[in-house]
A = this chain, B = another copy of it.
Amino acid sequence: MPHFNSTQIQLASRPEGWPTHENFQTVQATHGDLLEGQVRVRNEFISVDPYMRGRMDDVRSYVAPYALGETITGGAIGRVIESAAHDVPVGAVVLHQHGWADAVQADAGTFTVVPEVPGLPLSLRLHILGMTGLTAYVGLTTIAGLREGDTVFVSGAAGAVGTAVGQIAKLLGAKRVIGSAGSDEKVALLTQKYGYDAAFNYKDGDIRGQLAQAAPDGIDVYFDNVGGDHLEAALAVFNDGGRAALCGAISSYNATEPSPGPDNMANIITRALTLQGFTLASYLHLAPEFSEKMTAWFAAGRIAYDETIVDGFENTVDAFLDMMRGANTGKMLVRV
């Protein structure tokens, strides 16, 4: 078989503070002959996610930092165009973690074949039906121990994870779900489309006051995508025995100085709170359980979603930067 070319985006230098285009480089790769067991995949959608910012720093974390001069890895979905693996035929749709590339050549074992369902956009496998949805589900259930009748607060609620959290919380019996978002349009979407009972714009300031007003009876569960002031506000209104699933801290990802933590940490003791950070890698065994529930909810028309799709692989870095600035509603994706 002939050689095969792909275009990839690599980390060229580590960002200090907000990343810029200079931190990335686009390279052409020529792949060798297709070996036994390998496939070639043309990507259709590429995921850009907040956690990727963390991997651009050379700090200890649950996932290793991106190496300089290597392709940015992450979720993507594509279609097999050549195959030397008998169980992954040409035309199959595959999910994978090879990341920011227009095409990939690799062992078939690094791809997961997913069924094509009529009327179901492939892109959903990268969010509400995929890792994003699973993140929301695991955080609410295994980490925060959501119970029927709980009041739930979600920060960054109009993002990919946040829109899933609110809906799943309601479907699992939450009494009241409150969300924060960074624009009035997003706030409106939360209550009109995503079933949030109350929502506020954190850019209006006084997060603590706005949350207290939205949660007159306190909160039992906090799903944190933001950190910083949002966590402090949550600690201020937690009911006794409250539980926080700490999933992300986008407010600090681009900070160049450490920022002080909540000034009311003592509430963790006096209200017997639990704060638990989590990373999806430890909970992938819950994917089948999640998939069964989410597929049923989805089929029943009980799940809404948004995608902010950027066209063109060459716009991947812009898509990532815009997502970090909150330009997306729901999931930010690149259509290759």
Interface mask (A28-63 → B, CB under 8 Å = 1, otherwise 0) = 000000000000000000000000001000011110
Residue in B262, B263, B270, B277 whose beta carbon sits within 8 Å of that of A60 in the complex: B270
| Cβ-closest chain B residue relative to A245 | B269
Asked if residues B270 and A61 are in contact (CB atoms below 8 Å), the reply is yes
| Cβ-closest chain B residue relative to A282 | B272
Query: Chain A's interface: helix, strand, loop or mixed, by majority?
Result: loop
Asked if residues B268 and A275 are in contact (CB atoms below 8 Å), the reply is yes
| Cβ-closest chain B residue relative to A243 | B276
Q: Within the complex, what minimum Cβ distance (angstroms) separates A302 from chain B? A: 29
Question: Does A240 belong to the interface (CB within 8 Å)?
Answer: yes
Asked if residues A270 and B277 are in contact (CB atoms below 8 Å), the reply is yes
Of the candidate stretches A84-92, A246-254, A317-325, the one touching chain B is A246-254
Q: How large is the interface on A (under 10, 10 to 19, 20 to 34, 35 or more residues)?
A: 35 or more
Asked if residues B261 and A265 are in contact (CB atoms below 8 Å), the reply is yes
Which chain B positions have C-beta within 8 A of A97?
Answer: none
Question: Does A162 belong to the interface (CB within 8 Å)?
Answer: no
Q: Which of A48-105 contact B (CB under 8 A)?
A: 54, 59-62
Which chain B positions have C-beta within 8 A of A246?
Answer: 268-269
Which chain B positions have C-beta within 8 A of A258?
Answer: 263-264
Q: Which of A274-327 contact B (CB under 8 A)?
A: 274-279, 282
Can you list 11 contacts pairing A with B, beta carbon distance less than 8 Å? Answer: A61-B270, A232-B261, A246-B268, A247-B269, A258-B264, A259-B263, A267-B277, A268-B275, A269-B278, A272-B276, A274-B276
Question: Chain A residues in contact with chain B, CB under 8 A?
Answer: 54, 59-62, 227, 231-232, 240, 246-249, 252, 258-279, 282
